[in-house]
Structure 1
């Protein structure tokens, strides 16, 4: 246990305890992070040492000064000491304080710091890069500060360079600051230091070697490789440290969003990752995804520097503008409240789908911790008529299939009809079982280029890799046969035959009642609306498939006449095929019921 007399330890402990005791306003994830810290102080697997954390804090506060800015009262900050806030010190104590018992090996090798803009983030990253480099000088420190754009990483580099000048130490270091390179290097009495600012360009960075990496604004990274190339450069060091610092963005299929979800699982204890430090500050969201964004309590919750660099009156005024001018709302959510927002062109609110999925698991008595196979095993025994749909790739891309069925729970629910009358109707849950395929030859490239988590889907059972350059459509036929053999009573399967006649013939040979279903928007609109309505009513279940959620978030829809919709993907690099397959299947169900084509089982 640490010595309570250490100058900054009391500040860190007060910060953690004030949050866990709810004296200080904080979001759910920040509370979980402080609980994790306090619990780990007593973990017999770790030693907690204060020396390195104290060194870094003291070095920053005694050598660094502000380059720009003003206090809340307007007093200029340039040239005044750069003093760390309690949350900064909490971060430093975590990443440097824990060691594996009886060793010199630090516990944390990676950190995710997720805070809104203007919370003293970039300058802290710069000061931390400098101090960590000095701390690890005996190992020959190499520090890379990386951002999606060089201009962003130069913000940190210029701050360090400015402070070198203020210290009068510039003559002791070699500073290169031109169009070709931005670096600071020097030999110290007992080691060396090298710091370089880079743009995240994995094609030209395979030979990098470092022990400390600062990845700034990772919400702007287009591919995971931009982050991983720096992380991979650290393998020669034991006490390496990769730090990702970012705010939220507007792509819920991005690398950064997936990283955020993983880190939330660490705090929720659904994933164990002892070498990963997580610090998340954001606005809490309601069950339906809504945020009380004009509430000052929410503003303080999301911003750890509230009242320091975040002016309460300004952020309140910004929230009111966002309320009155919807075009400002998305940026306010992402940059000031740190809440990821889907692109404005995206049609669905994914939180409605997730809430519906969770509610349906409870209604069906399905345990959320069940594996996919167990959920499917449960569903096959329900008295449901299933309808299939498939969306086949032309050559080497994502191919998807789905089963769609409705289950009457036996309960009555109250709804308001078109006349405004409250009536009782039977409760009906629509269930989507989806699967997808991708050629293994192109999988790594497409997963990287288009940020599609194909290998994660494969691990979770939602996708198979076709062992060929293109998808073998016999695999889709075999999936439908497998589901039928398990006991799923498949009435019809819809498919646009012009995209793969071989698949159509294969399904016919397997004795499926396959219906030619052209991709006319007025045909698909009814299935689209059915899925949308069921999700909003909380009666759509898709087995918590992250692959299905990915596709739902990429749907852009255009309202047509007579309440019809025409939909497509938001960006060319995204995929909606799994959602499309579910729409095909839903249309088959609706058309079969309408026309009364309830022929024998197949």
Structure 2
């Protein structure tokens, strides 16, 4: 029996059985591991995992730090925690049956700060380089800033000195390059620290990479350029390691959301290993952040490198000082927070939306009057159209917002990378149309409304600010739509805004799980005015790279619906 096998199995079993405090994603991850052990498509071998654990624990020592009782750690053996060993066992244990091909090619390790993360990444890079030496290991340690990459590089370099092995390796450590290379007799290794700069890294070639603190990556290309460098290898491994950030439109946030779906079983990705430790949130997205149970579930090194009394003290400070709360949530509880200026709580919208699951075909068949809106202000950029209606369901009046985006295909690749907009994902989801021209054609938008009408949607009226597209206005009339000029006065848009806000808070808002709408929602910044009025704009202003077009189109549709309700004498003070 392998030395660490029982420890790893006990860790996974204790979490699944509820004997050890863990978050929802940890439970799902450990259950996935136990299920995979029974999967006949895989063979589970402990040899490589045990080798890597042995190399780390017998060659590496701590460079800094203290134990809980204040005992200095410098020079003490770097012993892995049980959760570290679970990660190693998963990454290296599963093989496709009857082959030498490992199952996992990519991994996400998502844990809060100070949970022995960066030093583990460095030690893992070293041990994996030795494990794969016969293939001529080439390992990149990459971060958004060179300073972060050097945290891991310097830890490896320090340990080479402690092992008195530095003479057997070529170490370059200057302003131009930070690398370690060596001939190991039956193979070789090369480890290099890099800052994620895709403009300078097109010729990279590696079999192993650790992308550290990916929450700081500005564009997906910073990650993908390293992943692309691995195509020449079969047993490649790309490991992303990070703590939560505060940009819910970032590459990292979307990657984490994708990985959550893998754990939940709603997405199948057999090559992707996921380890997530975070605080559980209730249906409204709230966290019981002063509860020590929540602290423990979010921090796998709780009681080791995370001092219970200190994290409780930080929680109390966050409670008394709201300015500290977002940082505490992100860095200590690993809960992704939206930008400080963002108005809406996305969790409220997701909670409301998740209660309903009508398809477009089902909605078209329901007795609903639909009210349209369009935001066509920039034809070379994201354009949006919407239908808005309400339906009584189980005694509740549900507002339904159907939105669709349009984007010129010529600019799509550039904008997707530069501005981190998941345009191609929206296209795959069927909520975005790409025009085969340099600009979005009015015809594409008109055709979308025509398609919805053909499906059976009873479109009563469409609101649109005529000064942003008289040609579109005319085309809609020719297609026999009732379209009215809807100037973008903030006091009118405020009514639609408030309607959407109230319905989401009451759990009576459905947007068909549209991730494009969620993206736009998170970019909304609002300013409270007198008499309950509100004026909203993009978080980063007019010159920024964020978009709110789908939300804006939805607001236009809501305004038209409210106007008709008022004329029919059915409007009520729903915002009281």
Q: 2:365 aligns with which of 352, 377, 381?
A: 381
Does 1:465 pair with 2:423?
no
> 133-142 or 12-21, which moves further after superposition?
12-21
SS of the residue aligned with 1:73? coil
> 38-47 or 157-166, which moves further after superposition?
38-47
Q: Using the TM superposition, give the Cα deviation of residue 597 of structure 1 relative to its aligned residue in structure 2, in angstroms.
A: 11
Q: 1:337 aligns with which of 333, 340, 348?
A: 333
> Aligned pair count?
567
SS of the residue aligned with 1:111? strand
Q: Using the TM superposition, give the Cα deviation of residue 410 of structure 1 relative to its aligned residue in structure 2, in angstroms.
A: 6.7
SS of the residue aligned with 1:380? helix
Deviations 1:534-569 (A, max 9, x none): 111111111111111111111110101111111011
Does 1:581 pair with 2:550?
no
Match runs of 1:103-252 below 5 Å: 103-252=99-248
Q: Is the 8 A contact 1:360 1:429 kept in 2?
A: no
Which residue number corresponds to residue 562 of structure 2? 590
SS of the residue aligned with 2:21? coil
Q: Using the TM superposition, give the Cα deviation of residue 359 of structure 1 relative to its aligned residue in structure 2, in angstroms.
A: 2.2
Q: 1:392 aligns with which of 367, 373, 376?
A: 376
Deviations 1:463-509 (A, max 9, x none): 01000000001111111112122221111111111111110110111
Deviations 1:268-320 (A, max 9, x none): 11111111111000011111111100000000000000000000000000001
Q: Using the TM superposition, give the Cα deviation of residue 407 of structure 1 relative to its aligned residue in structure 2, in angstroms.
A: 1.4
Does 1:507 pair with 2:491?
no
SS of the residue aligned with 1:286? coil
Report the aligned-residue RMSD.
Answer: 1.2
How far apart, CA to CA, are the structure 2 residues paired with 1:84 and 1:196?
23
Q: Is the 8 A contact 2:379 2:441 kept in 1?
A: no
Which residue number corresponds to residue 433 of structure 1? 402
The normalised TM-score by structure 1 is 0.93
Q: Using the TM superposition, give the Cα deviation of residue 596 of structure 1 relative to its aligned residue in structure 2, in angstroms.
A: 4.4
How far apart, CA to CA, are the structure 2 residues paired with 1:239 and 1:132?
11
Match runs of 1:46-57 below 5 Å: 46-57=42-53
Q: Is the 8 A contact 1:524 1:583 kept in 2?
A: yes
Which residue number corresponds to residue 89 of structure 2? 93
SS of the residue aligned with 1:69? coil
Q: Using the TM superposition, give the Cα deviation of residue 186 of structure 1 relative to its aligned residue in structure 2, in angstroms.
A: 1.0
Does 1:544 pair with 2:513?
yes
Q: 1:493 aligns with which of 451, 459, 462?
A: 462
Which residue number corresponds to residue 346 of structure 1? 342
How far apart, CA to CA, are the structure 2 residues paired with 1:112 and 1:88?
13
> 150-159 or 538-547, which moves further after superposition?
538-547
Does 1:44 pair with 2:40?
yes
Does 1:23 pair with 2:19?
yes
Instruction: Please list every run of 5 or more consecutive structure 1 residues that lacks an aligned counterpart in the other structure.
Output: 367-374, 412-426
Q: Is the 8 A contact 2:289 2:315 kept in 1?
A: yes
Deviations 1:88-141 (A, max 9, x none): 011001101111111111111111100000000000000000000011001000
Which residue number corresponds to residue 574 of structure 2? none
> 480-489 or 62-71, which moves further after superposition?
480-489
Which residue number corresponds to residue 386 of structure 2? 402
Does 1:556 pair with 2:528?
no
How far apart, CA to CA, are the structure 1 residues paired with 2:377 and 2:488?
14
SS of the residue aligned with 1:359? coil
Q: Is the 8 A contact 2:466 2:486 kept in 1?
A: yes
How far apart, CA to CA, are the structure 1 residues paired with 2:345 and 2:487?
28
The normalised TM-score by structure 2 is 0.97
Match runs of 1:513-552 below 5 Å: 513-552=482-521
Which residue number corresponds to residue 483 of structure 1? 452
Q: Using the TM superposition, give the Cα deviation of residue 392 of structure 1 relative to its aligned residue in structure 2, in angstroms.
A: 0.5
Which residue number corresponds to residue 299 of structure 1? 295
How far apart, CA to CA, are the structure 1 residues paired with 2:560 and 2:264?
40
